[in-house]
Amino acid sequence: MRSFPKHLVAFVGLWLAGWPPAVRAQAPSPEDGATLFPGGALVSYNSVFTSRRAAASGAALYPTFGHDGLFTFSWGVRRDVQVTAQLPVVTKRLDLPLGAEEGGTGLGDLQLHLKYRFLRRDSERGTTQASLRIGPKLPTGRTDLRGGTGALLPASRQSGSGSTDLFLGLSLTYTGVLHVKRLVADATAGHLKRTEGTQGVRLGDMTEARFWLSYRPYQTEAVGKEWFIGPSLSWRRIGRARARGAPLPESDESALFAVLWLALDFPVARSAGTPLGAERRISFGITRQFVMHH
C-alpha cells in the first residue's frame, strides 16, 4: 500500500435551524457523480452533533441530542466502479423533566454501497458525470440500550434499527457551470426502503433529493488540498412508522430546506405529523485518499 501524495481534504460545516434525520452524511466532496480512480481508496471520519427542542406536543419520537461519528471506507475497484462501507458510532439522548436524561451510545447500522458511473463526458467546459448507487443497510447496531430504571429504551432511541434495509440512489455532477472551472452543480436523489426492526417497529421509508451549487475558492495545483462552499436546496420525505403493523401517529414528514453553506439552514416548506422544533447541527470531518494498488 503506497500513500497518494498528500491528498488530504478537510471539511468543516455549520448548520443552524430545522433539519430532519439524515439518510447519510455529506460526502467529503461535492462531486457525488464521480467515482474513485481504479486502485484508489479513501478513509474518512465525519462527526455530527445535533440538538433540538422537544416537540411542543410532548411526543418523544426523536431524541433532543445526538452525535454520529461516521467512519467511511471507499475503494475504486475498477474504472467506473466503487464500493463503500460506512459504520457510525451513535449517541442519542432525550432530556426529561427535572433535569433527567435518557439515552446511550453504541455502534449503528453498517451501510454497504456499490456505485457505478454510467456516464462521463469531458469537454473544454468541464466534465459531466452520472452514477447509480445501490446497497443494503445491515442490522449491526445496538438495540439493547436501557434507561436508568433498567427498562429497554424505545426503538427511536436505540443506536441501531434492527432492520435490513435497501438504499438506491442516483447522482449527477456538472463541472464548469457557466464556464467557471471551479463552479460545480451536483444533484442527488435517493430512497431507503425499510423493513421491520427492533421491538416490532418499522421506521418509515425515506426519500430525499438535493441540489448543491458549490465553488472552490481554494485549490492547490495538484488538487492536494481544497475547500468548497455553496448553497443547496434539499427535499426529504419520511413515511409513517409502524409498530407491529399499526401506524404510529405523528411519525411522517415532508420538508423542503434551503441551505447557505457556513451560514443559515432554514425550512422553506414543511408538512409534518409533529414539529421537531428548531435544530442545530455542527459537522466536521477529515478525508485521506491513497493508492491501494496500480
- The whole-number pLDDT of residue 160 equals 94
Q: How much of the chain, in percent, has pLDDT values that exceed 70?
A: 73
User: Of the ranges 88-92, 233-237, 267-271, which is most confident?
Assistant: 88-92
Segment 193-216 shows an average pLDDT of: 92
- The whole-number pLDDT of residue 78 equals 93
Segment 65-83 shows an average pLDDT of: 94
Identify which has the larger pLDDT, 217 or 260.
217
Segment 30-36 shows an average pLDDT of: 86
Position 196 confidence tier, pLDDT thresholds 50, 70, 90? very high
Position 292 confidence tier, pLDDT thresholds 50, 70, 90? confident
Q: Shortest CA distance to 48 belongs to which of 279, 263, 288?
A: 279
Looking at this protein, which amino acid is placed at residue 75? W
Distance in angstroms (rounded) separating the CA atoms of residues 58 and 275: 10
Segment 280-294 shows an average pLDDT of: 76
Q: What is the pLDDT of residues 250-265, one digit of tens each?
A: 778 787 877 765 534 4
Distance in angstroms (rounded) separating the CA atoms of residues 12 and 266: 19
- The whole-number pLDDT of residue 294 equals 61
Q: Which residues pair with 285 in a beta bridge?
A: 11, 46
Grid cell 452520472 — which residue? 130
Q: Shortest CA distance to 64 belongs to which of 74, 72, 56?
A: 56
Identify which has the larger pLDDT, 249 or 293.
249
- The whole-number pLDDT of residue 24 equals 45
Identify which has the larger pLDDT, 218 or 177.
177
Query: pTM, whole model, 2 decimals?
Result: 0.80
- The whole-number pLDDT of residue 150 equals 86
- The whole-number pLDDT of residue 2 equals 40
Has residue 270 got a pLDDT over 80? no
The yes or no reply on domain 8-291 and CATH 2.40.160 is yes
CB 18 within 8 A of CB 258: no
- The whole-number pLDDT of residue 253 equals 79
Mean pLDDT, the chain, whole residue set: 80
Position 12 confidence tier, pLDDT thresholds 50, 70, 90? very low
Distance in angstroms (rounded) separating the CA atoms of residues 90 and 55: 21
Has residue 227 got a pLDDT over 80? no
Q: What is the pLDDT of residues 102-138, one digit of tens each?
A: 788 999 999 999 999 999 999 888 899 999 999 999 9
Grid cell 445491515 — which residue? 138
